[in-house]
Amino acid sequence: MLYGVIRLDDDPIKRSPKRAISIRLRLFKTLCAPKYAHIVTELYIKLPPCTLPSAVASDSPLGRVFDPCPNLDDKLGLALMTLDRLEVLKLYCTGCASPEPMRHTYLHFLPTRSLRVFRLQCACNPYVGHPDNVIELFNQPFMRSVEELEWCLGEYGWRYPPNWATLPKLRKLVYGQEEYMKELLASSPITYLECDAFVMKNVHVKLCQGPKTLTCLRTHPYIHNILTPEYLRSSSLSADWMTLCIKMDISPYLNLRRLGYLCFGLREAPEIALNLTEIRLLPYLECIEVVNLYGHLSPPNNDPWGPELLSSLGFPSLTSVLIVDKHLEETLVWELDGLGWKSRRRR
């Protein structure tokens, strides 16, 4: 707390859940004291799940499971109401699903006016992700200063919003399959976008309406589905979606410097090069990130990525290609220098 940064985003399952809950409750109480609240600028919080066996209250009759979610959420809300200098808030909620419409409602009333980074990852309550509530939240004064927004609420928030907010300083946007989030792309000068490949077709339409400031685009292909040869040769792979978008209108992507995660499935080197034909038209593209499935599906010597393929691609500005394993844990970095393409491993 000396430097205004508090992190409690470790995995509560790795320690005693009851202890993880107790630590968070003590912290939230401490933050309500003005002498501490006014120096906190960054808060990273993971709310633990309440349904673990070891969360059973020792004093509960018949071993009844103690549900800490409402109490934790209430105490976090009280603490956040005191943090008027908060610049970074990352909240990862793993709480139980709740039918009550009052979970995380304190987010509408954050007192800070200097919040730059706001992340919410939660699937505990449909109230939070309902588009009407999202619009109300995004129109609150504290959102006017947000530059980076990560919004991952799972399946909730399916209805198309009738009106939308403008976040004037928003530059980085990360979300999953929340379709309504695409409305921000037409009104905000986004430079970094990360979303699910499933929504990319509709995202493209909004990018065409926006200010065309995108320099980094990341989409997540369904690399954890059943990896059948039929799927891996289908047109649902992310590289095909990117090709289709460029064919429809290349203008939103002309300033791209970084593009990922492309997935080419079981395709061989000539087919990969052909699939990159339209992507090669991006004049400033410096880095491509590729999800490599070959280590899982076939012997390593069948991996098509190497100096021969990379030298044949003919990108005008490409200097690095990152080959990422399907769990996004290890990366093979290919870099272009004066002698050609060289590789190194990075974890």
Tens digit of each residue's pLDDT (9 = 90 or more) over 141-198 = 999 999 999 988 765 444 555 456 678 899 999 987 777 788 888 888 999 999 887 7
Give how far Cα 267 sits from Cα of 44, 232, 235, 308, 323, Å: 41, 8, 12, 15, 15
Query: Is residue 217 classed exposed, middle or buried when 0-12, 13-18 and 19+ CB atoms within 10 A define those classes?
Result: buried
pLDDT of residue 2: 56
The tens digit of pLDDT for each residue in 25-44 reads 999 999 999 888 889 999 99
Contacts 24+ apart (CB under 8 A), 22-30: 24/48, 24/72, 24/75, 24/76, 25/71, 25/72, 25/75, 27/79, 28/72, 28/75, 28/76, 28/78, 28/79, 29/75, 29/79
Domain hosting 293: range is 191-347
Within a domain: 258: yes
Most confident segment among 65-69, 130-134, 214-218: 214-218
Within a domain: 121: no
Give the Cβ contact number of residue 243 at 10 Å: 19
3-state secondary structure of 118: strand
Query: Is residue 280 classed exposed, middle or buried when 0-12, 13-18 and 19+ CB atoms within 10 A define those classes?
Result: middle
CB 289 within 8 A of CB 259: yes
Q: How many domains does the chain have?
A: 1
Looking up tokens 């076939």, which residue turns up? 298
Model confidence, pTM: 0.84
pLDDT at 101 over 60: no
Tell which residue, 121, 145, 126, has the closest CA to residue 45: 121
Tell which residue, 201, 279, 264, has the closest CA to residue 233: 264
When pLDDT is averaged across residues 101-106 and rounded to a whole number, the result is 79
Within a domain: 312: yes
Least confident segment among 48-57, 88-97, 225-234 = 225-234
What does the longest C-alpha to C-alpha distance in the chain come to? 73
